[in-house]
Amino acid sequence: MEVSAETRLLGVIGHPVAHSLSPSMHNAAIHVLGLDAVYVALPTPATALAAVLGTFAAVGGAGNVTLPHKEAAERCVARKTELCERVGACNTFWTEHGALVGDNTDVAGILAALRQLGVDGGGSWLLIGTGGAA
């Protein structure tokens, strides 16, 4: 893979993130698809979160947010999907017109897993946990 000034920056933001398998998985997909992009893990302390997200916006990047920053990231993005706003946590972001848009894919992931198990995702549920850890 050759990285140039045109290469799109993608990544996962968290603290810690050294354990994340996301870079390996995403870079394999990027290679197979022939995209000019690179996906990196960025260890980001809370004090640097807004600056790191701002850098992604400035360069047209996108990525994911993991613990402990999902709730704080929701407050940092310029625009939010309805689900991101309702959940109060952002785990996915991308740039549109120089501004970050935040979303939350955790709910869809949980519902898909329940459906695979034959469980109806409708109705009322008790979720034990809070915020980004739930």
C-alpha to C-alpha distance for 102 and 71, rounded to whole angstroms: 11
- Token pair for 98: 């120089």
Catalytic residue, from 14, 70, 103, 104: name it. 70
C-alpha to C-alpha distance for 27 and 125, rounded to whole angstroms: 36
80 is catalytic: no
- Token pair for 79: 């625009």
Which residues are known catalytic residues?
Answer: 70
